Amino acid sequence: MRSRLIDLLLPACVALLAAGGATAAADLPTRSSTQAGVTVKATPRTVSGDAWEFEIVLDTHSQELKDDLVKGARLVVDGGASYAPAAWQGDPPGGHHRKGVLRFKPISPQPRAIELQVQRTGESAARSFRWRLR
C-alpha cells in the first residue's frame, strides 16, 4: 500500500518541485513607456516552459511605426545574459498602431528577474521593462 501511494504521489511532487519559484505570467503586470509621442506596452504572456512570450503594443498619432522588433528587442536575465527574440507574430511595420507577440526561446534555469529592452529606430536609448520572477 505504501509503495502504491508513493508511486501515485511522486510524479506530482516532482512537478511541483520543478515549478518551484516560477511565476505565472498572469501575475506579472503590463509595463508601459511613452517617449517622443510613441507608447510601448509590454505584457508577459508566458515566462516559463517551451516558449517565452511578450505581448507588445505600439501606439502613436505622430509617426509611422516601422520598427523591426526582432532586431530591436533583447531579453536580459538577472542583469547579465542577453537573448534575441526568436520571432515576431503580429502586425507588420507601418501604421500608427501595432500589436503582436514577441517570442523567445526558453531560458533555463528560471532567472530571478527579467528585463525586456526595446530599441526603437531613431531613439537614443532602449525602452526598458522589468519584472521580478521570484
Residue spans per domain, the chain: 24-132
Mean pLDDT of 94-123: 94
Q: How far apart are the first and last CA of the chain?
A: 38
- Into which CATH architecture does domain 24-132 fall? Sandwich (2.60)
Mean pLDDT of 44-49: 89
With residue 16 as reference, give the H or E element that holds it. Answer: helix 2-19
- pLDDT number for residue 13: 41
CB atoms within 10 A of CB 117: 17
- pLDDT number for residue 120: 93
The mean of the pLDDT values for the chain is: 85
Label residue 26 by pLDDT band (50, 70, 90): low
Label residue 122 by pLDDT band (50, 70, 90): confident
- Torsion angle, alpha carbons of 70, 93, 96, 32, to 10: 0
Please name the residues in contact with 90: beta carbons below 8 A apart, sequence gap of 6 or more: 56, 98, 99, 100, 101
Label residue 4 by pLDDT band (50, 70, 90): low
pLDDT for 107 beyond 70: yes
Mean pLDDT of 44-65: 92
